[in-house]
Amino acid sequence: MLTESEMESRLHDELKAAVAAITPDDDFMRSALSHRPRQRWSRPRLALGAIPIAAGLALALLVFVAPTTVVHQVKNRPTVLTVKLLGHVVRLPMGDRVVSSSDSSCQAWLGATQGTILNWAFPAAVDDAGIPNATSTGQSNVVNAPDGEQSCIQSSISRAYSLPPGITATSPLVPSGTGASPITVDGDYAETVPTSVQATSPDGSSSTTQGTLLYVRVPVSNGQFQLVTVVGWAMPTSEVVDLASSALTAGNTGTTGSTS
């Protein structure tokens, strides 16, 4: 009788011997050798042709983005681009730029000196009493924004006012026939209107581009409202709305003043 250890040793030998005669035939080996190992892939390498492209992009960023945005570098956090809107710093959506390209509408004001004036058709506005007025026009000294920021979006918020008789929280803000589209911004009644924006430099030269006006009727205390006005250009209407929404979410009550 074999011990377990002896059995193990013998089984090992016998198994080896038993299967020794089992050999792969030629067809099997041909098939086995026909397999090809999959290529290993290197780490991504910068292609030579990409160098000029990268350099061009870097130059474009320096020329067109850097002067027009505020870059907030938070330690150990990624850099974020922001604009100041309604007195609040609003983070730009990832991938969006304030100035989109070398021929963007913002370029007209790049390097503009202090005193450059923006004008846009104002299909509705508020007068000193806070009453919407269809005959006003808007005006802003866009290049004098705080911190040297110069972006393709400007904003203002009116004093608090009471709605005149016959006007409700959801009454139209803009006269019909101006292309206004009613929407809501954070639940508040709003309208977007296509408009043109004209920049006039102190030397008299001017440039005009298309933009979007956004009005939001924001309820405040005592049944009063404030009218938020945002004008944006070189960006889609949806982005103007998103940025305004972010600014309003950050808090807009009690702010009074002219275009920032």
Partner 1 sequence: MFKRIPERVDDREFRCFVLEAAPILLRAAVMMSRDRATAEDLVQTTFVRVARRWATAHEAPLAYSRRVLINLARDDARRLARRPTVPLLEEHLQLAASGDTTGQVVDRLMLLEAVRELSEPQRDVIVLRFYLELSVEETSKLLQIPEGTIKSATSRALAKLASVVSPDKLEPIQGGM
For partner 1, give the closer residue by CB, 9 or 171. 9
Residue 44 touching partner 1 (CB under 8 A): yes
| Contact window for partner 1 (CB under 8 A) among 2-10, 90-98, 142-150, 169-177 | 2-10
Residue 146 touching partner 1 (CB under 8 A): no
Residue 35 touching partner 1 (CB under 8 A): yes
Residue 42 touching partner 1 (CB under 8 A): yes
| Contact window for partner 1 (CB under 8 A) among 26-34, 70-78, 95-103, 248-256 | 26-34
Closest Cα to residue 162, out of 136, 123, 191, 129? Answer: 129
Handedness of CA 182, 216, 260, 177 (dihedral sign): positive
Residue 2 touching partner 1 (CB under 8 A): yes
Closest Cα to residue 155, out of 211, 214, 235, 110? Answer: 214
> Phi first, then psi: what are they for 160, rounded to 5°?
-70, 140
Residue 53 touching partner 1 (CB under 8 A): yes
Closest Cα to residue 103, out of 204, 234, 198, 203? Answer: 234
Residue 47 touching partner 1 (CB under 8 A): yes
Beta strand 181-185 with 153-157: parallel, antiparallel or unpaired?
A: unpaired
Rg of the chain on CA atoms, in Å: 33
CB of 60 to partner 1, least distance (A): 15
Residue 74 touching partner 1 (CB under 8 A): no
Q: Give bridge partners of residue 209 from the DSSP assignment.
A: 197
For partner 1, give the closer residue by CB, 35 or 77. 35
* From 26, 38, 147, 221, residue interacting with partner 1 (rule: CB under 8 A): 38
Q: How many CB atoms lie within 10 A of CB 209?
A: 19
Q: Give bridge partners of residue 232 from the DSSP assignment.
A: 153, 212
* From 24, 115, 146, 257, residue interacting with partner 1 (rule: CB under 8 A): 24
Residue 61 touching partner 1 (CB under 8 A): no
For partner 1, give the closer residue by CB, 5 or 221. 5
Residues 196-225 that bind partner 1 (CB under 8 A): none
* From 23, 114, 176, 221, residue interacting with partner 1 (rule: CB under 8 A): 23
DSSP string computed for 84-101: EETTEEEEPPTT--SS-S
Closest Cα to residue 216, out of 161, 134, 157? Answer: 157
Degrees (nearest 5) of the Cα angle 196, 201, 202?
145
Q: Give bridge partners of residue 133 from the DSSP assignment.
A: 125
Residue 72 touching partner 1 (CB under 8 A): no
CB of 254 to partner 1, least distance (A): 48
Residues that bind partner 1 (CB under 8 A): 2, 4, 7-8, 10-24, 28-29, 31-33, 35-47, 50, 53-54
